[in-house]
Structure formats: structure tokens, C-alpha cells
Amino acid sequence: MAKEVIEAPITGTIISIEVKVGDKVEEGDVLLYIESMKMENPIMAPVNGKITEIMAAAKQVVETSKPLMVIEY
């Protein structure tokens, strides 16, 4: 199986994580929300697959390119 590492596209604070390890996701599903410059930015799944790892938590400040989660497909 291939893996897709989801990275933070912007610096900000994670507001909420909408999935958990083991969840199946479809391309375009919202994985989490990051607040940056007072805007909520949805981070969406780029592929269909299963969440195998989450490396972030709500209220955590993340920098651009920080790995957030892994999807196997």
C-alpha cells in the first residue's frame, strides 16, 4: 500500500480534527481545520484511503510543512 503524508499548508492553530485512526476517507473529505489569520481553513483528503496515523492535536500550533497525518491507499 502507498502512503500519503498530509502536511500543514499554512502556519496556524489546529481548531479540530474531524477523523480518527482507522477511519476511511474519500478524496475531498475534511480531515481537520486550521485557524490562520482569523480564518478557518479546512484541510481535505487528497486521496481515498484509511487514516493510519495522526501526529497533531487540537489547539496545537503548527508550522507550514509539519506532518499532520498519514493516509494509506
In tens, the pLDDT along 5-41 reads 999 999 999 999 999 999 999 999 999 999 999 999 9
Q: Break the chain into its structural domains and give their ranges.
A: 3-61
Burial of residue 57 (CB within 10 Å: 0-12, 13-18, 19+) is exposed
Under a CB-based contact definition with an 8 Å cutoff, are residues 30 and 43 in contact? yes
Question: Structure pTM?
Answer: 0.94
pLDDT per position as a tens digit, 40-65? 999 999 999 999 999 999 999 999 99
CATH class of 3-61: mainly beta
